[in-house]
Amino acid sequence: MTKKYGSLLALNQLSVQVQQGSIYGLLGPNGSGKTTTLGMALDVIKPTSGSFSWFGQPVSRSTKRRIGALLETPNFYPYLTAQRNLEVAAEIKGAPPSQISRVLHLVGLEQRKNSAFKGFSLGMKQRLALASAMLNDPEVLVLDEPTNGLDPEGIAEVREIILRIAAEGKTIILASHLLDEVEKVCTHVAVLQRGVLKAEGPVGAILSAKDSIVISAANQQKALDVLAQLPFIASYHPEKENIVLTLQDGFNSADVNQAMFAAGIVLTQLVVRRKSLEAQFLEIIKQPS
Amino acid sequence: MNLLRIELKKIVPYYTFWIILAVYAGLLVLVMMAASNISINGGQLGTQVYQFPKLWQLLTYIASFFNLLLGILVIVLVTDEYSYRTLRQQVIDGMSRLELVLAKFYVILGIGAVTTLFLLLVGLYFGFRYSTDTGTDAILGQIDHLSYFFLQAVGYMTLAMLCGFLVKRSGMSIIVFILYAQVLEPILQFSLSDVIDQYLPIKVFKSLTPMPGQELLDQMTTPTELLTPAWATLPALCYIGLFLLLAYYSLKLRDL
């Protein structure tokens, strides 16, 4: 899909597919096209070109009833109570009114169901929006920045609700500019920057790039010879008097130390260099597309 | 999905809605009472003009001035949906754009029916108080003015709804609505010949509730070409349909 606002290219030929049961993160800085993408998929923003489908069908009332979504902000009538707001939403979604108390319980708002929406804190508003999205017991949940603007306690509450919903086996599509949120919650991720897809795949493959290990030994050449023989070394290169190496899955710095000692080399330095998420992210979005 | 029931759930607890309706009702009754107490040649005006069946035309003519208030009410209801972003949420939750327009049109029909019913009660009250002839024939003789009033109120409100959907913000929509109805179209009417301008929307709506004694006035001055209420019905219905269609396309072609 492509979306232009006048001359501004908000989204450039994005093409992704979300598998059933996955928790799919749309990751990118503010203004990278996340909300535009979700808005188009939710039928409120017109794509300039391209198309999308839900469950293999074009968007329709019946596909919408299998989706629960909140876009940007919690959208409710400020003068209506939580209960009344959910009654309106339930009527539109064709959900039985009996669901209202269930979803209020799910987000912990049953005590405040008779309070007007305008008196709610941001966290409560966000939770009510989650409750509304859950009214029709949807197969897919679409959440746009669900923790944006919340205090730490609110963030923790909302994340816990999301994980609880995910545990029920629902597919969740989550837009966020918070790396650590995507890493903690999602199984798959697409990284967007200025409307361009920079990377896509399982979170493990995209975000948790392998830690590197830095070693040094008195005889660097001999150490390099040994490394070439070791099966669990993924890559290595000398860096001044040090050697930087990465390992295959399932091995750690202890294995390196042991192998070196067995080969008669005593390491003078052994350091695990952890790559920060932020550094990885910057690396991803710097890649030329 | 019952569109009217959804709208009622939103409107019934909404104070602003009831306040505007109360102002409408209060102003109308106030004007009727004030007019009845004016005394001319020692006699109360009320006893002269609040006579069945002529009363219905006067009543609907007076009420037609307050249609702008009903229009503002509809604009508030439409633009609220933009400022709360609930229009967007309703589409996400499964409503079509056509249903968004229809839901508001049902509200318009509802408000039109309620105000027409209110007018009937007000008319009966003043009629029974002042009219010398209170026979069934006299009461029901020209009561069809009420149905013309209903059409007129629905027409004004549908135009207001279109302004709301097009402009999206309440203040600007109200200005556009009043500017068109009170300034722009009168200027247009002034610059066009009567043959054409009698078909302009506001003039069509106005001709549904003609001023009592217009015929007399026409004899003294150059007559203005004005459709009779019966002849104005079809063009009024066409305008209502056109406004609905434009409102629908403004939603269909733009992002929410």
What is the per-residue pLDDT across B24-69, written as a single tens digit (0 to 9) for each?
Answer: 999 999 999 888 877 766 666 767 788 888 899 999 999 999 999 9
Question: Is A286 domain-assigned?
Answer: no
Q: Are residues A143 and A51 both part of a single domain? A: yes
Interface test with B, best of A91, A135, A142 (most B CBs within 10 A): A91
Among chain B residues, CA nearest to A116: B13
Residue B93 has its nearest CB partner, among A64, A77, A79, at A64
A285 is a domain residue: no
Q: Is A200 in the same domain as A262?
A: no
Same domain membership, residue A136 and residue A247? no
Residues A137 and A253 in one domain: no
pLDDT for B1 beyond 80: no
Section B79-85 average pLDDT: 96
B256 touches chain A (CB under 8 A): yes
Q: Do B10 and A88 touch (CB under 8 A)?
A: yes
Quick one: which of B254, B256, B244, B255 has its CA closest to B99? B244
Higher pLDDT among residues A255 and B175, named by residue: B175
Buried b (16+ CB within 10 A) or exposed e, A119-134: ebeebbbbbbbbbbbb
Q: Are residues A248 and A188 part of one domain?
A: no
The pLDDT, as a whole number, for residue A181 is 85
Please tell me the distance in Å from A156's CA to the nearest CA on chain B: 25
* A13 and A38, same domain (yes or no): yes
Please indicate, yes or no, whether residues A89 and A178 belong to a single structural domain of this protein. yes
Residue B91 vs residue A289, higher pLDDT? B91
Tell me, yes or no, whether A23 and A58 share the same domain. yes
- ipTM value: 0.90
CATH number at residue A163: 3.40.50.300
Residues A199 and A222 in one domain: no
In a domain, A138, yes or no: yes
- Give me the number of domains chain B comprises: 1
A173, A206, A239 — which closes off a domain? A206
Cβ–Cβ of A45/B13 closer than 8 Å? Answer: no
Instruction: Choose the final residue of a domain: A185, A206, A227.
Output: A206
H or E stretch covering B164: helix B145-167
Touching check for B102 and chain A: CB below 8 Å?
no
For residue A64, give the nearest of B86, B94, B253 by CB distance. B94
CB A40 within 8 A of CB A1: yes
Report CA Rg, chain B: 20
Calculate the average pLDDT of chain B. 91
Q: How confident is the model at residue A15 (pLDDT cuts 50, 70, 90)?
A: very high
Grade residue A52 by pLDDT with cuts at 50, 70 and 90: very high
Strands A140-144 and A171-176: parallel
pLDDT in tens, A84-112: 999 999 999 999 999 999 999 989 999 99
Give me the domain span that covers residue B112: 3-253
Q: Is residue A161 part of a domain?
A: yes
Quote the mean pLDDT of chain A. Answer: 89
Q: Which long-range contacts (CB under 8 A, 24 or more apart) does B92-97 make?
A: B92/A42, B92/A43, B92/A44, B92/A64, B92/A69, B92/A71, B93/A64, B93/A89, B93/A92, B93/A93, B94/A61, B94/A64, B94/A65, B94/A92, B94/A93, B94/A94, B94/B1, B95/A92, B95/B1, B96/A61, B97/B248, B97/B251, B97/B252
Q: Which two tokens stand for residue A40?
A: 């188009």
Q: How many domains does chain A contain in total?
A: 2
The alpha carbon dihedral of A141, A145, A148, A151 has a sign of positive
Q: Which of residues 69-88 of B touch A (CB under 8 A)?
A: 80, 84-86, 88
A117 & A225 share domain = no
Tens digit of each residue's pLDDT (9 = 90 or more) over B153-170: 999 999 999 999 999 999
Put simply, whether B182 touches A (Cβ < 8 Å) is no
Q: CB-based contact (8 Å) between B137 and chain A?
A: no
As beta bridge partners, residue A3 has: A11
The tokens for A91 are 């009527």
Q: What is the pLDDT of residue A237?
A: 84
Q: Which residues of A touch B86 (CB under 8 A)?
A: 75-77
Contact assignment for B10 to A89 by CB distance below 8 Å: no
Q: A173: helix, coil or strand?
A: strand
CB contact under 8 A, A79 and B14: yes
Q: How does residue A209 score in pLDDT terms, banded at 50, 70 and 90?
A: low
B-chain CB neighbours of A42 within 8 Å are: 91-92
pLDDT of residue B88: 95
Q: Where in the sequence is the domain holding A254, given as residue range(s)?
A: 212-273
**B17: nearest Cα among A197, A156, A79, A169:** A79
**Shortest CB distance from A44 goes to which of B14, B88, B94?**
B88
Percent of chain B with pLDDT over 90: 71
State the average pLDDT over residues A201-219. Answer: 80
A126, A142: one domain: yes
User: What are φ and ψ of residue A147, in 5° steps?
Assistant: -110, 10
- The reply to whether residue B255 touches residue A39, judged by beta carbons under 8 angstroms, is yes
Contact A91 B6 (CB under 8 A): yes
Q: What is the CATH number of the domain that holds A216?
A: 3.30.70.100
Task: Work out the average pLDDT over A25-45.
Answer: 93
Report the pLDDT averaged over residues B184-208. Answer: 90
Residue A280 belongs to a domain = no
CB atoms inside a 10 Å sphere around CB A102: 14
- Region A61-71: mean pLDDT is 94
Q: How far apart are CA B199 and CA B235, in angstroms?
A: 7
| Residue B166 backbone dihedrals phi, psi, to 5 degrees | -75, -45
Radius of gyration of chain A from its Cα atoms, rounded to whole angstroms: 24
Is residue A289 pLDDT above 60, yes or no? no
Q: What is d(CA A281, CA A276) in angstroms, rounded to the nearest whole number?
A: 9
Q: What are phi and psi of B199, to 5 degrees?
A: -100, 5
